[in-house]
Structure 1
Amino acid sequence: MDRTLYVDKYYMTEVDTFENSIYCHHALMGESFISEHSHIKGQFLYTEGGIVFLRTEEKSYFLPARHYIWIPGGIRHSIYPSSPEVVMRNLYFPKFDTDTDFYDNVNIYPVNDFLIEFIMFTNRWTGNIFPDEDAKFSIAKAFKLILPEISQTELPLALPYPKHEKLKAIVNYLEQRIEENISFKNLANEFEISERTLARLFQRELNMSFIQYYTILRMLTALKLLLDEKASVNEVAMRVGYSSLPTFSNTFNKVIGVRPSEYVKNKNLLL
């Protein structure tokens, strides 16, 4: 069977066929992307083997190994794996009376050892799990219910899309020169704009400061280098503009939740 047609079939038609079922799907991607779509059920997505880029109408999300993303029902999104070897583990849930506002937002969270064991337990499930399958449905439902309890810290692994033409050019400039440590003052001078105006532009258009945006951009680039190019931590630090390895490591830890050395050690844990 053609893999693309198979993937299209499950996420376009089968997920929402039965309103009250929990749908489970584990798959090796083996393709370049999953086109824009939405589903009524909320989606838990965990990946192994590389980064998954997920785009909504407002933001671009970077989902690295040992993290999961929650996607509320109705959110249009497309999925771009960093390589054909990426494995996606998906659980799609209907709404429950016990749902809180935790399930209303797209967010990325680190995965602890307990949740990894739970995720791997779901590997035995494929397709629909119905409410009358008491034991299996209760376990799957508990998986959803436990997420807010063990997901206390969402990580800012997303960058909003600029709509302002000048800010698009500025962001592109930063991306193309990621190895340089570009100061806010030099950036303002390069684009012949006052620092005050530039600061307001970032805050108004992207809802974050220049330093927040620039730091996340550098750390997400570092993640990609660590996973896709298998570069050393020292090399990655330099390639994203950090001359100090401790500073890079501390910043990576603050944004990603683990130190880069620990991330490299753990990234292939489940492969």
Structure 2
Amino acid sequence: MTNSYVNKYYMTEVDVKSDSIYCHHAVMGEEFISEHDHQKGQFLYTEGGMVFLKTAEKSYFLPARHYIWIPAGIKHSIHPSSPEVIMRNLYFPTFDTDDDFFTHVGIYPVNDLLMELIMYTNRWNGNILPTDTKNYTIAKSFKLLLPELSSSNLSLSLPYPKNTKLREMVTYLEEHIAELVSFKELANMFHFSERTLARLFQKDLGMSFIQYYTILRMLTALKYLLNDKMSVQQVASRVGYSSLPTFSNTFYKIVGVRPSEYVKSKESII
């Protein structure tokens, strides 16, 4: 079953019929799906764990109650937090009605309506052809509704540093995530002036140090909340926050829900 999932369906089946909408629901069964791409855009929702998705430029973090849209032609690999993760995939051809929403990788929270639609797709498997008018119309409507149901593209991604020194700094931040490392301390530690380092972050990563550091801490918090089953207070401390309200507010800005709400939502998913 594992070999069938990893080596067969997404490589050989998805794009065989260019006008079909392809549907696939399955337990992951593997620790990763190697780099590949599709001629169709991919809607990916997961249950039972966090998924990491890597492209040439960024690493994306897909937590519970969120989905990721992957445009056609984007090479990506998929790394679940465990082989027991359930993946729900819908692959769509390009429609004349598609807008700019479908040209960018994006991670979006799943509301109750979208969850009902996702569960409805569980009855489908394989190709849905235009000749199957009823199901094809419903599946196409699913895609058309995504921009309306997905107002906030969350910043659940981090770019890869190109600069060697910057990679060393990022590794240091990851390894000392429980400590609050100031920008000044980081600059001194790696023998940069603050002004030069600020320019390096902006030029190499397209964001400031504080933006990168904040997202890194929140993504690490997501992993702790999902896998280690620690309390919100413990998680806040593990990612360097002494103030629970500050942690909760920051988490909300990045993830779109409070950490306590996130814990409840993931526990309610079978």
* Interval containing the TM-score (normalised by the shorter chain): over 0.9
Is residue 127 of structure 1 aligned with residue 126 of structure 2?
yes
Residue aligning to 1:140: 139
Residue aligning to 2:190: 191
Counterpart code for 1:109 = Y
User: Residues of 1 paired with 2:145 and 2:4: CA distance?
Assistant: 33
User: Residues of 1 paired with 2:233 and 2:29: CA distance?
Assistant: 31
Shift of 1:270: 2.6
Alignment of structure 1 residues 148-167 onto 2, 5 Å: 148-167=147-166
Contact map agreement 1:48 1:268 (CA 8 A) in 2: no
Residue aligning to 1:233: 232
Contact map agreement 1:162 1:206 (CA 8 A) in 2: yes
Contact map agreement 1:179 1:239 (CA 8 A) in 2: yes
Which string of whole-angstrom CA distances, capped at 9 and with x for unpartnered residues, describes residues 183-236 of structure 1? 111111111100001100100000000000000000000000010111111110
Gaps of 5+ in 2: none
Which string of whole-angstrom CA distances, capped at 9 and with x for unpartnered residues, describes residues 94-132 of structure 1? 000001011000010111000000000000100000001
CA RMSD for the aligned pairs? 0.7
Contact map agreement 1:49 1:268 (CA 8 A) in 2: no
Gaps of 5+ in 1: none
Alignment of structure 1 residues 4-23 onto 2, 5 Å: 4-23=3-22
Residue aligning to 1:112: 111
Counterpart code for 2:147 = P
Which string of whole-angstrom CA distances, capped at 9 and with x for unpartnered residues, describes residues 130-158 of structure 1? 00111100000000000011111100000
Shift of 1:47: 0.8
Contact map agreement 2:5 2:28 (CA 8 A) in 1: no
Q: Secondary structure at the match of 2:185?
A: helix
Residue aligning to 2:40: 41
User: Residues of 2 paired with 1:266 and 1:105: CA distance?
Assistant: 26
Contact map agreement 1:27 1:89 (CA 8 A) in 2: yes
Counterpart code for 1:152 = S
Shift of 1:259: 0.4
User: Residues of 1 paired with 2:73 and 2:5: CA distance?
Assistant: 22
- The share of aligned pairs that are identical, in percent, is 70
User: Residues of 2 paired with 1:58 and 1:218: CA distance?
Assistant: 20
Counterpart code for 1:133 = D
Residue aligning to 1:264: 263
TM-score in terms of structure 1 length = 0.98
User: Residues of 1 paired with 2:89 and 2:185: CA distance?
Assistant: 44
Q: Secondary structure at the match of 1:267?
A: helix
Q: Secondary structure at the match of 1:179?
A: coil
Number of residue pairs matched?
A: 270
Which string of whole-angstrom CA distances, capped at 9 and with x for unpartnered residues, describes residues 244-271 of structure 1? 0000001001100000001001103231
Range 5-14 or range 27-36, more displaced = 5-14
Shift of 1:159: 0.3
User: Residues of 2 paired with 1:74 and 1:251: CA distance?
Assistant: 34
Counterpart code for 2:139 = A
Residue aligning to 2:216: 217
User: Residues of 2 paired with 1:102 and 1:174: CA distance?
Assistant: 33
Shift of 1:69: 0.4
Contact map agreement 2:44 2:88 (CA 8 A) in 1: yes
Q: Secondary structure at the match of 2:229?
A: coil
Contact map agreement 2:41 2:93 (CA 8 A) in 1: yes
Shift of 1:84: 1.7
Counterpart code for 2:148 = E
Residue aligning to 1:79: 78
User: Residues of 2 paired with 1:203 and 1:119: CA distance?
Assistant: 38
Counterpart code for 2:64 = A
Q: Secondary structure at the match of 2:267?
A: coil
Alignment of structure 1 residues 80-95 onto 2, 5 Å: 80-95=79-94
Counterpart code for 2:104 = N
TM-score in terms of structure 2 length = 0.99
